[in-house]
Amino acid sequence: MITTKKYVITIVVLVLLCGATFGLGLNMGAKGYVYQGHNFQIINQNNAPKNVDYNLLWQALDILNQNYIDKPVDQQKILYGAVQGAIAAVGDPYTEFFDPTAYKDFETSLSGSFEGIGAEVTLNNGAVQIVSTLDGSPAKQAGLLAGDYILKIDGQDATKMTLDEAVNKIRGPKGTQVHLTILRGSQQKDITITRNTINVASVKYSTINKNGKTFEDINILEFGDDTVNLFAQAATDAQSKHVSGIILDLRDDPGGYLDDAVKIASYWVNKGDVVVSEAHSDGTTQTYTALGNNVLHDIPTVVLINGGTASAAEILSGALRDHGFAKLIGEKSFGKGSVQQLFNLPDNTAMKVTIAKWLTPNGQNLNHNGLDPDIKVALTAENIKNNQDPQMDAAVAQLLK
Residues identified as active-site: 311, 322, 336
**Terminus-to-terminus CA distance in the chain, angstroms?**
57
8 Å CB contact between 243 and 297: no
Tell me if residue 324 falls in helix, strand or coil: coil
8 Å CB contact between 149 and 161: no
Alpha carbon 157 to chain centroid distance? 25
Count Cβ atoms below 10 Å from residue 221 Cβ, excluding itself.
25
Alpha carbon 394 to chain centroid distance? 27
Whole-number Å distance between alpha carbons of 205 and 120: 23
Q: What is the CA radius of gyration of the chain?
A: 23
For residue 160, the 8-state DSSP code is G
241 CB-near residues (< 8 Å, 6+ apart): 207, 214, 216
> Strand 203-210 to strand 213-220: parallel, antiparallel, or no bridges (unpaired)?
antiparallel
CA atoms within a 13 Å half-sphere pointing along the CA-CB vector of 234: 26
Phi, psi of 26 (to 5 degrees): -120, 125
